[in-house]
Structure 1
């Protein structure tokens, strides 16, 4: 029976998709899709999308973990389902931005950009120049799944619409709250061995980390434990900022209180947080490699069981030792602040997909991408083929045990692995990233999540360029100086000088631009 899985999987997808659409492939409304009087038509519902095969070229980023897109079952099977053949122009993550810039500079454009990571500035610039086409009309007519989510969550539309009222790129959509946060994982096994309680405050966390450092919780007689670690750079600042009353609104280091947007980088609360992290670093409680290790090395530390406290969205990287860890709530800071500031908006991965002006089949292309904003399409994209890669249990797809024996297989069958793919992440398709342990960890964070998470605003091109220029200098300076404060290379006696330099870099002007954008959102 195994040899029939391909045909059965395709037929299952066709049937389920037609049921979702509520009509047969012949019964949907039709519209002329091809230019120059061609008789090929695009169906607004059902499959195939077109009767006569259409070919599209899409530029995409390929992550180091991925195999070739043309070998992924999602694209092989979807070609048969949709009658749309996609040729992917793959650019590795390293150098992707440069290749993307060259495409637009040379005007040698593909039909679409998939997993494109277009920034708001790029989107406005290339849209205004006519290289990207407006999508709002196509969404209304050819993207019922995407349109439904935009109606249910109005912040999606406001976050991707330019001041002129156009949508030039669409994001990934994450309705699953647990997929928008990094959980706070602590080594419960070590807590139990050392007879310690889960820390509820930053001071209690400090004491727990001391015990992790000195109490030999791994029992090997060596002081080789890593009390606390995080991804490279200032991710530890994002992870801990909520304990010091610092939020991340409008896609930046911004607090919003009483309708006032305040950039907090030069604030006393930020100084207090950096001093706390400096104490952890100085006392070897914070991983000394936090500013040098690679992503792979960080993930390996999670899986080693030798880390006491760290941050990640899921438990994927420590599945074999998951019983050793538990998720905890944000610790309350010295002023009683207790917030989960590290939370992404529902419209995640901005600029994940766009259609260019050379595309002869924009309606077909919009229908093609819209399928991935349904549970059925997202299941295909994330899980591959039923029976070979996953099985259904109570209506939810789960990877098979055989497939999970080598987790690197996942990146070979789906562009989801590696991040940034334009699709839906809902509870329906999140069994791998949202198992019970992760759900429990999210429940610890939920009471401390902000009521509203404002995404980065869409500025007009002139303002976007202004913001970009200001942020280039300010962000680089903040990252450099914050790193020095944390590792002790810069004394906190220099804090007023740090504040003064931020002002000279016109941080007040940047703050006003964000305030103006926020005010427009409220109208």
Structure 2
């Protein structure tokens, strides 16, 4: 082991050792071996949750160096007073969490609660079930807010039920989320300069891209325009008009109500041939499959003139810097069958699982469950997604809620992350409550909901975020490493160089040799289990 690597590991071991000692020292306070339920201190309903104060250790992971400013959220601070449960937040950085997580799982020494789906993946949980409490009984006895949410939105339970039929983690439904994922974005300034209309079909898009390439729409006298650009993954959105959509990146989609592996379909083949035609005419960025995000951003935010004509994005204002006002989101492009297909989820991109786990070392699981249930009200959820009322959110006399403007020099999104747990943790906003939330339609979350209307009617039902067994998790990496790499490599080759007709049969044969049938069986079995949850 090299010196730098050994040093980094020693530092990591030291950090985790310190964390584990802290957890052992104060987890649950002095319980005397009693659970909260068996103690006279525990209240099964109402507040406080416990008559005598206890402490729960709650571990959460934050992106990069976000820190712990969210703990100053007034709602969270009031919750400690109202429940009599003090929270000892253990805030970890995603930068080095991978190594810390492995050591923690291997040691079996965990905090009372793990908060947020970035901490442990499905496979982490499935392969370490003995470390986590099954939550079904706690939900039934102590979590009326979550029970009501699951009755209103059954997707919450379907998403969070593990292969053995139990719930080991709690779900979330985020507020004011769109239905669409990335949508088509075009340089409207270029269209106007060339007297062109917004394209609505693949043939019209083809003609617009040719005009972008040939007519100097950025006006600098150079042929430096890039009609279409994106990353290799975003290039998949180019295939949408042919009915190819893949929200969760599994290679699977739902067709006529059944799961199918689309990289072997005729629709996929025709989509690749169309993309190759565009590439061969210089209408697609020639570095599409080789550029990294730094290279792409340099093109999107070129200092002198705008360079990109068409792409797919969450919102145009998020990527184009000083040129953002030149770009608009347009309706989903229709394909050769005259239909439009948009990546997204008709249920909304709102649902999450693994947002809270109660470990088997927690001395007060009943109190922890009741504490978690406090997050599942509408007001609690919006305050844990954006920030506290009277700090980030203004509650109006008419029952509506509006977001305040961020401090000068701070973006709205950064402010929300500083002021709340944001995407992470349990929460539930009822679909009927969302009409009471007022968002600015010109930026951020409000802008996405505005442009969402352009594509939401065309969103296809995705292959869902299914759950796998421990045995399936053992098989999947071997299968997907070979198969996914081969599919990505051939897709890039066929788009850039052509040859799909000549090589198709050999491609199908190779996939079958790699175990495609077994991969599809695993995905399909997981899909059927997912749909069997009631």
TM-score range, shorter chain: 0.7 to 0.9
Output aligned runs, 1:377-416, within 5 Å: 377-392=380-395, 395-400=400-405, 402=407, 405-407=410-412, 408-416=414-422
Alignment-derived partner of residue 516 in structure 2: 507
Helix, strand or coil for the counterpart of 1:151?
A: helix
Alignment-derived partner of residue 235 in structure 2: 236
The answer on whether the counterparts of 2:59 and 2:89 sit within 8 Å (CA) in structure 1 is: yes
Judged with a 3 Å threshold, the aligned counterparts in structure 2 of structure 1 residues 91 and 177 are, in CA distance, closer, same or farther, namely closer
CA distance in 1, matches of 2:312, 2:172: 22
Alignment-derived partner of residue 150 in structure 2: 150
How far did 1:507 drift?
1.0
Residues 36-55 of structure 1, C-alpha deviations (whole Å, 9 max, x = no match): 9544324534x544443332
Judged with a 3 Å threshold, the aligned counterparts in structure 2 of structure 1 residues 438 and 116 are, in CA distance, closer, same or farther, namely closer
Residues 278-308 of structure 1, C-alpha deviations (whole Å, 9 max, x = no match): 4444555434554465657767866776543
Unaligned runs of 5+ in 1: 1-31
CA distance in 2, matches of 1:309, 1:161: 40
Normalised TM-score (structure 2): 0.78
Judged with a 3 Å threshold, the aligned counterparts in structure 2 of structure 1 residues 401 and 36 are, in CA distance, closer, same or farther, namely closer
Alignment-derived partner of residue 10 in structure 2: none
Q: Is 1:431 aligned to residue 439 of structure 2?
A: yes
Judged with a 3 Å threshold, the aligned counterparts in structure 2 of structure 1 residues 77 and 211 are, in CA distance, closer, same or farther, namely farther
Residues 119-170 of structure 1, C-alpha deviations (whole Å, 9 max, x = no match): 333332222xx11111122222333333223212223312221232201122
How far did 1:63 drift?
0.7
Output aligned runs, 1:72-83, within 5 Å: 72-73=72-73, 75-76=76-77, 78-83=79-84
Unaligned runs of 5+ in 2: 1-32
CA distance in 2, matches of 1:65, 1:486: 39
Helix, strand or coil for the counterpart of 1:110?
A: coil
- Structure 1, 273-282 or 426-435: larger mean CA deviation: 426-435
Alignment-derived partner of residue 274 in structure 1: 272
Residues 379-424 of structure 1, C-alpha deviations (whole Å, 9 max, x = no match): 22232244443434561231325457544444332332xx555434
Helix, strand or coil for the counterpart of 1:41?
A: coil
- Structure 1, 183-192 or 196-205: larger mean CA deviation: 183-192
Judged with a 3 Å threshold, the aligned counterparts in structure 2 of structure 1 residues 34 and 275 are, in CA distance, closer, same or farther, namely same
Q: Is 1:183 aligned to residue 183 of structure 2?
A: yes
Alignment-derived partner of residue 494 in structure 2: 485
Helix, strand or coil for the counterpart of 2:204?
A: helix
How far did 1:448 drift?
1.0
CA distance in 2, matches of 1:503, 1:333: 29
Normalised TM-score (structure 1): 0.79
Alignment-derived partner of residue 246 in structure 1: 244
Helix, strand or coil for the counterpart of 1:373?
A: coil
Alignment-derived partner of residue 97 in structure 1: 98
How far did 1:316 drift?
5.5
Alignment-derived partner of residue 123 in structure 1: 125
Judged with a 3 Å threshold, the aligned counterparts in structure 2 of structure 1 residues 72 and 229 are, in CA distance, closer, same or farther, namely farther
Judged with a 3 Å threshold, the aligned counterparts in structure 2 of structure 1 residues 214 and 423 are, in CA distance, closer, same or farther, namely farther
How far did 1:81 drift?
4.8
How far did 1:334 drift?
2.7
CA distance in 2, matches of 1:34, 1:252: 42
Judged with a 3 Å threshold, the aligned counterparts in structure 2 of structure 1 residues 223 and 80 are, in CA distance, closer, same or farther, namely farther
Judged with a 3 Å threshold, the aligned counterparts in structure 2 of structure 1 residues 199 and 132 are, in CA distance, closer, same or farther, namely same
The answer on whether the counterparts of 1:389 and 1:403 sit within 8 Å (CA) in structure 2 is: no
Alignment-derived partner of residue 444 in structure 1: 454
Output aligned runs, 1:217-232, within 5 Å: 217-230=217-230, 232=231
Helix, strand or coil for the counterpart of 2:402?
A: strand
Judged with a 3 Å threshold, the aligned counterparts in structure 2 of structure 1 residues 225 and 104 are, in CA distance, closer, same or farther, namely same
Alignment-derived partner of residue 112 in structure 1: 113
CA distance in 1, matches of 2:469, 2:184: 37
Question: 2:366 pairs with 360, 363, 366, which one?
Answer: 363
Output aligned runs, 1:511-522, within 5 Å: 511-520=520-529
